[in-house]
Structures are given as structure tokens and as C-alpha cells.
Amino acid sequence: MAKDDKEAVNTGAQRKDRPWLFRTYSGHSSAKASNELYKTNLARGQTGLSVAFDLPTQTGYDSDHILARGEVGKVGVPICHLGDMRTLFDGIPLEKMNTSMTINATSAWLLALYVAVAEEQGADVSALQGTVQNDIIKEYLSRGTYIFPPTPSMRLITDVVSYTYREMPKWNPTNVCSYHLQEAGATPVQELSFALATAIAVLDAVKESGQISAEDFPSATGRISFFVNAGIRFITEMCKMRAFVDLWDEILRDRYGVKDEKFRRFRYGVQVNSLGLTEQQPENNVYRILLEMLAVVLSKKARARAVQLPAWNEALGLPRPWDQQWSLRLQQIVAYETDLLEFGDIFEGSVEIDRKVEELKAAAREELRLIEEMGGAVAAVDTGYLKESLVNSNTARVQSVIAGDLPVIGVNKFTESAPSPLTQEADGGIMTVDTAAEAEQIERLRDWRAGRDDAAVNKALEALTRAAKEGQNIMPPSIAAAKAGVTTGEWSEALRHVYGEYRAPTGVGTAVSNAENDILEPAREKVALAAQKLGRPLKVLVGKPGLDGHSNGAEQIAVAARDSGMQVVYEGIRLTPEQIVTAAKAGTVDLVGLSILSGSHVPLAREVCEKLKAAGLGDVPVVVGGIIPAEDADTLKKAGVSAIYTPKDFDMAGIVIDMVDMIMKYEDVA
């Protein structure tokens, strides 16, 4: 017996595999506040950073842009320029850190800022380790933080892949993201096939660009990583991950001729399901998070390289540092206290597991074949096929919860509960961003502009624009622009002028009708009776003001209202209050519904109500849906909002009936 093995037997200790990276997805208010949070989390045993950016940063706007109003620092940290990025990582040696940045449309820019700060710190850029998500296709389908049309967006992805391959060989240049697909309703088969189709589109684009030689291409494929979701059905989810491993290996071997098995490894990070967390009985979410994590750590063959867990209270609002620590401790207990990492793959040879994996692989291959016949993932975005598929799947899931066919404890089963002591504290169990944070960020931005060399900024923007027009790699001029003092909004605006902007298909207009579903029958009867009384159809506008791109709720309300017999105006995401009011007036709607999940519901809803009144539409009822604390609900009602819906309000028929009652009340014919 080897010496190490004898010592392990004598001490009772076993040699363990190295644990995955422990991350916490975080960032809020300001670069300074986020820096303090990062240092706190690292001191508590976090082994990698995962940066959450605010919506203006993600969508290429400076903090003082009209669309940024109410959104600054709400769902992440605002980064407008090199000074902000410098503050964000102050005292954190980037050469020793593994940093994940959840950024897509502006990923080239945020990476440029990161490189510039690393160079200021004296770091060897070639030694930097980390990831930019840099997956724009799923933004068109689920999260909504896209800017440019698909073709130039794919080019930006290609530029980042090619640049990092040459200059930052330890960096993951794209994190093909199926996480948000599941949040938008994707089934396991859709998550597999849509993500793999995206990865194929990226590799095809890289190959066609000619920026990486044929000889180097196989090793470049080895830098492609994935970011996945894991839901509560953890056995199926674990099988999904094993299917991912097999299918990716198959694609790289057969489609691209990659011979080295090392390059064909499926490398992925994960955040377990967040939108599946419940507002009702939120303490149950702790168990959901643990079970979902098991899906991505139990199987050694398909174990995650990095894990970040949501906090128990994310259906209520922003988590506090203690809440994030609780999720971090969960990871640490599984990794260090259990014997999980002492064993090989405990599912190898399981007949049941193998059967499910093969079933998922076969269905995913068929879906991939259909997408390929359409011309690939980008073409399937343009036609609306992928988005419509997700809307349909999410509609089926929501209806299953409403009908009770899909049990959710505390929501449609075992709903009786004692009050949760976790939410009884003065802060309601959540963190609230200081309302002064936005004004302070704007003041810092204005100071930055006033103190920089305008000539250098203009020269850098000219070089950036020229590179975009001439098809040069965008990274070198972006890094130069970062060092010159260019802002996030200026970088994005320069590329908007070259590439244009894009409005993705909503997936609602041609979604499969629910006409045969009994769940909506009471709503249909109510709508029909009201239309008869009014002598015309009822018409509602569903709008998403601000920059929040999580459109699931808006889509489901729009579909339910449409299939209950209402006429629906839904123009997708990222609208100003002025645009919503203009659409309401032009469409002569009977009710305006707003969906806001970014925490900016108070200023945006208040502004919509004020502008409706100014436009002579003060009698049109306004309803708001989102993650809205009770105290904010009172504020909204005082501002003129008629009703408020939160994640606990999942009965679509009931919401439609409420809308009819509000319309008829204002029409004085109830």
C-alpha cells in the first residue's frame, strides 16, 4: 500500500478532488459599495468573483441617460468608465483572481476596462483568468440586454474570442448561457439544443472570420465554456448535464474534427434556478437551492467548474450580505464536510440514468437538426422560432402550476403556514438600494467627463468607429478608448451609429392559443360579457418601461389576456414612459399593465401615471407587476396605480378578471 493511502486509512481522511470555484453573483449601488462587498465575501471563503452589472451598463447607457432613470445600481454595479472599474477592483489583485463578468452586448467594452485596470495594477495580461458571458443569442430570447442586430453582435463575440486566444490564453471569451433559457421556460431538451446551437453559431463565426488559423482552431474551441441552470427536478437536471458532456464532445469531434479530448471537455459554471424561488414561504427556498445544486455537483463526470447560488430571499428583493453568506456556507458544507469529493462518478453504469441521458440526447439532436435546417441559431432568432418556443413552453409550465399539476410547496400545495421569522425584521428580510445612489453616481460621471482630455477621447472614438466600419478586431481600440477616458455610453453610441439597433421578436403575437384550456374559461366569460356591455372589444397595453429585459411575466399576461378575448398591445422590452403613454393614446386602450422586475418600479410607474394624466388619460387604470415590497406597493397606489401583482399572484385567469373589473369600474358600466 502506498504511503499516502496508508496515512489516509490511519487518519480516516480520504484524498479529495479539488472543489469547484465558490462564487456569489453580486454588485449594487456603486463601485465602492460593491468593492467592499467583494472583499467581505472573499474573506468569508469565496474563491472567485462574479460581477453583476446594472442594466444601464449591460445595455450600453451612461447613468445619466433617460433610459437609465431609476435603474442605476439596482440589479448590479454601475460601471461608466475606467475610474469606476478601478474602484470596483481596488485592493483586489486581478492577476490572482478568477473573475466572471455577466455581460453580453457590452462584453468587449467591460473586458477592455478590466484589461486596462489589470495593466494599471502591473498584472501580466496573459495570466488573467476569468470569463465574460458574451452570449448575445440568449439575450434576444430571454434576458433582453441586447443592443445590436445579430450579425454585428456575432462579430463582436468573434473579436473577443480571437483577441483573448492570442493575448489572454487563460480567459474564457464566451460563456454560452442556457441559464436564462430555463428562466424563460425552456425544457431540458430546449436548454440543451438551443445552447448547443448557439455554441455552433459562435464557432462557425470564429472559423469564418479567419482571425484564428486552422491549425490553432481546435485549441481555441477548448476555451469555449458554458453557463447553465439547474432546476428542482434534480435527477433530470443531472442527466441533462451528462447529456451536455456527451453532445459537446460529439459536436467538437464530428463537426469540427477536434481530436484532442482535452479540448472537447464540457466546461461550465452554474447558478441554480432563481425564478423558481417563491415569495410564499420563502424559507423553503433554502431547500430548493440545496437540491438544485446537487444536480451539478453529484456526478463527477458532469461536475460544475464554478457554482454560484442565489439567496433564499431573491423572490422578495435584493439579498443582504448575510443572505449571500448563507448560500456560500451551503456550498462550503457540501464541499468540505461531506464525502462527495472522495468518490468517482457514482452514477456510472446506472441503467436508469443512462436511459434518461440517451432520451435527452436523442431529443436534443432532433431539435438541433431542425435549427440547422432553418440556417442555424441566428436565423432561428430572426424568424422568431426560438422565442415562440420558449413562450409556449413557459405558458405550459405556468398553466401546470395554476392547475396544480406541477406541485410547488407553499404556492399550490401545503399553503397554510406560520409567519416566517426571517421576514419579520425591520428591513423586511431584504436589502434596499439607497435612493441617493443614482444621483451620486451621476455626479461622479459628470466629474469624470469634466476632468478628462476631450481631444484624446474624440481621437479614441474616431479610431473605434473606424475599426468597426473596416471590420478590424474591436478589442485593441476599445482598450485604447478605456484608457483615454471614454464612457460606456459613448463606446456603445459609436457602435450604434455603425451597426444600428435591434428589436427582437416578442414571441407573443403568434404564440399557440390557449383556447382549449379550461383554466381561462372564467376569464373568457367575463371578457365576453364586458365586451357585450361596452359594444366593443376590451383592449389592454402591456408595457415594460426602463431597461428590465426579463419579459416572462409580461409575455404570460399578454398571452392570457389575448386568449381570454382581449385585444393586446405588446411591443416588447425597453420602452420609455413617454413611449408607453404614446402607444396607449394611439391604441385607445382600456388599461395599462406594467411589468418591472429591476427594482425601479416606483419611479417608472409613477412617471407613467403622471404622463397618462397629462395626456388626458388619467382615468385609464394602471396595474404593475414585479418583485415589489409591501411599502412600495403603498407608494405606488398613492401614485395612482390601481393594482399590484407580485410573484405570488400566478393565477392568470384571476388577474384577467381583475383587469376586466377595473376597466368596467372606470367605464361606469359595471
State the cell numbers at 255.
Answer: 463537426
279 C-beta neighbours (distance < 10 Å), count: 21
Separation of alpha carbons 361 and 365, rounded Å: 6
Which residue of the set 361, 550, 601, 611 is catalytic?
Answer: 550
Separation of alpha carbons 289 and 234, rounded Å: 11
Separation of alpha carbons 454 and 71, rounded Å: 27
Sort strands 306-308 and 225-228 into parallel, antiparallel or unpaired: unpaired
Separation of alpha carbons 545 and 596, rounded Å: 7
Beta bridge partners of 318: 431
In three-state secondary structure terms, 426 is coil
Which residue of the set 25, 61, 140, 268 is catalytic?
Answer: 25
∠ Cα 272 277 282 (to 5°): 130
φ/ψ region of 70 (left if φ > 0, alpha if ψ in -120 to 50, else beta) reads: left
Instruction: Look at residues 328, 24, 367 and name the one whose alpha carbon lies nearest to residue 193.
Output: 367
Q: Is 114 a catalytic residue?
A: no
Which residue of the set 38, 140, 179, 570 is catalytic?
Answer: 179
Q: Is 25 a catalytic residue?
A: yes
Instruction: Give the DSSP per-residue string, 57-107.
Output: HHTT--TTSGGGTTTTTSSSB---SHHHHHHHTTT--GGG-EEEEE-STTH
∠ Cα 173 179 180 (to 5°): 105
448 in Cβ contact with 487 (< 8 Å) = yes
610 C-beta neighbours (distance < 10 Å), count: 15
In Å, how far are 103, 105, 512 from 58, measured between CA atoms? 6, 7, 32
Which residue of the set 84, 548, 590, 658 is catalytic?
Answer: 548
Residue with cell 422568431: 384
Q: Is 570 a catalytic residue?
A: no
377 in Cβ contact with 201 (< 8 Å) = yes
Instruction: Look at residues 92, 84, 145 and name the one whose alpha carbon lies nearest to residue 113.
Output: 84
Separation of alpha carbons 462 and 166, rounded Å: 25
Which residue of the set 180, 526, 601, 611 is catalytic?
Answer: 180
Instruction: Give the DSSP per-residue string, 171-214.
Output: EE--EEE-HHHHHTT--HHHHHHHHHHHHHHHHHHHHHHTSS-T
- The DSSP output letter for 17 is P
513 in Cβ contact with 158 (< 8 Å) = no
96 in Cβ contact with 625 (< 8 Å) = no
Separation of alpha carbons 376 and 379, rounded Å: 6
Q: Is 179 a catalytic residue?
A: yes
Helix/strand/coil (H/E/C) assignment for every residue in 590-602: CEEEEECCCCCHH
Amino acid at 224: I
236 C-beta neighbours (distance < 10 Å), count: 15
Q: What is the crossing angle of helices 351-374 and 188-209, to 10°?
A: 50
Q: Is 550 a catalytic residue?
A: yes
Which residue of the set 28, 544, 601, 611 is catalytic?
Answer: 544
Instruction: Give the DSSP per-residue string, 503-534.
Output: ----S-TTPPP-TT-GGGHHHHHHHHHHHHHH
Active-site residues, by number, are 25, 179-180, 544, 548, 550
